[in-house]
């Protein structure tokens, strides 16, 4: 699978996949790892990777949002949310954490994931924002149009999280045309490249690691208002 293990903290391991990872294989790895984390046999893990082009259908996916079933492979998944796209140029971060160490609050975990994307984007001069009732991180384009730049989808099993976030670095945005991303028709999708930001995946990874530490390792509790997201325990 071409995985590079990166030294993390005593509690969290980091891995970076050096080639695109098959989606079903990735889910199998996550399922195995979260069981090991839950049983105290492995440390928590953040896994950075890319997938070959595909659509995933979350637990709230509606068939009418799949506009072209033949355009790309479609995978059903247990994460929260609707249809989304994964492909080269999108940095996927699968976050496998034990929430019993962090207040056992799923909404708080989602809030932290949102904050992680917002702070990471800020390092590249991009203002990412939350929107009530719209999952993910959004940027305001010219003419006050809003586009999604980062998707969030989470599943939680016995208080161990998996799945996570997808940040659009420089994916083929035309690949989104086969779905209604996250069921939202009145807004589009964008990427750092489309916003004029020239960043390598290595630079993205460096920023993700730095901002992750600020948010997830600074405190074990969460006392900020949290947005809700469909998730499964």
Element (H, E) at 140: strand 134-140
Q: What is the largest CA-CA distance in the chain?
A: 52
Rounded CA separation 141/138 (Å): 10
- Please say if 222 is a catalytic residue: no
Going by C-alpha positions, the residue among 146, 152, 150, 142 that lies closest to residue 192 is 150
Single out the catalytic residue among 108, 182, 222, 226.
182
From the CB of residue 145, how many other CB atoms can be counted at a distance below 10 Å?
Answer: 12
Order across the sheet with 74-76: list the strands.
Answer: 74-76, 54-57, 83-86
Backbone φ and ψ for 223, nearest 5 degrees, come out as -125, 25
Residue 130, both tokens: 């939350």
Helix (H) or strand (E) holding 203: helix 201-216
Whole-number Cα distances in Å, 140 to 123, 126, 127, 188, 229: 17, 10, 8, 11, 22
Residues assigned a catalytic role: 182
């Amino acid at each position: 699978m071409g995985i590079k293990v990166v030294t993390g903290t005593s509690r969290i391991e980091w891995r970076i996949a050096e080639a695109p990872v098959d989606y079903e294989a990735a889910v199998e790895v996550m399922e195995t790892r979260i069981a090991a984390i839950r049983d105290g046999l492995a440390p928590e893990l953040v896994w950075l990777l890319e997938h070959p082009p595909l659509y995933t259908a979350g637990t709230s996916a509606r068939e009418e949002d799949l506009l072209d079933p033949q355009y790309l492979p479609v995978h059903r998944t247990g994460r929260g949310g609707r249809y989304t796209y994964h492909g080269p140029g999108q940095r996927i971060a699968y976050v496998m954490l034990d929430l019993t160490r962090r207040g056992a609050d799923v909404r708080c975990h989602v809030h932290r994931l949102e904050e992680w994307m917002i702070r990471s984007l800020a390092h590249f001069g991009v203002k990412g924002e939350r929107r009530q009732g719209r999952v993910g991180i959004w940027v305001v384009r010219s003419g006050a149009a809003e586009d999604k730049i980062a998707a969030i989808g989470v599943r939680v099993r016995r208080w161990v999280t998996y799945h996570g976030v997808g940040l659009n670095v420089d994916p083929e945005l035309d690949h989104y045309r086969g779905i209604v991303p996250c069921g939202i028709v009145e807004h589009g999708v964008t990427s750092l490249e489309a916003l004029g930001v020239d960043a390598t995946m290595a630079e993205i990874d460096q920023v993700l690691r730095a901002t992750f530490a600020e948010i997830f390792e600074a405190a074990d509790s969460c006392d900020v208002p949290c947005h809700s997201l469909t998730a499964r325990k």
